[in-house]
Amino acid sequence: MPKLLLATNNPGKIRELRQLLADCGWELVTPSELGLTLSDEEVGSTYEENAKMKALKAAQASGLHALADDSGLDVQALGGELGPRSARFGGEGAIYQQKMALLLERLQGVQPRPGRGCRFTCVIAIAEPQGGVYFGQGICLGVVAEVPRGEGGFGYDPIFYLPDMGRTMAELAAEEKNMISHRARAAQMARQTLKELLYDYERGLPTSQPAG
């Protein structure tokens, strides 16, 4: 079974990706399991740029196919921020409790709709050692809650309220989240790409295509 490197140091992402890509035909490995040190630096201006950059670096460093994602929270009242800078919001060293508190402070007095409307976006990039890159994207719509709720998930999940479910993303069981989340939807597209790459891999066919 070929190895697929999950190019992230984030334990929450690793846990979700292992669940979402279970039985995909690839052995999922992490940088720490391979003794690799990979940077989580994100300097691109789009989700696609960041995901591609991380996946290519991981594939080149390991000689394996590598999967990376970039995700973030886009808030209507902030003109689409936080966007690809979601993880850096609040400055270097800020933890997510601080990031959420700062975001809620900026949204004080903003009505739930349309101002607090938001979406989670996730872009997954799968890179080959030869340089080919394939993308999948997922989006989940919600509303920024007035206070954090829930202990599950990670990142901004406690303030991402799902009106149709009456709960925040952090209040969902893992099985529920993995049916509707932005990362789950991107992973569905990634699974199809992995299936096609595995088909070629098992037949010894070249799979590399120009990076997109």
Active site residues: 70
Using CA atoms, how far apart are residues 108 and 166, in angstroms rounded to an integer? 21
Per-position b or e across 75-88, b if 16+ CB within 10 A of its CB: bbbbeebbbbebbe
Per-position b or e across 95-130, b if 16+ CB within 10 A of its CB: ebeebbeebbeebeebeeeebbbbbbbbbbbbbbbe
CB-count burial class (<10 Å; 0-12, 13-18, 19+) for 201: middle
CA 52 to chain centre: 12
Residue 30 identity (one-letter amino acid): T
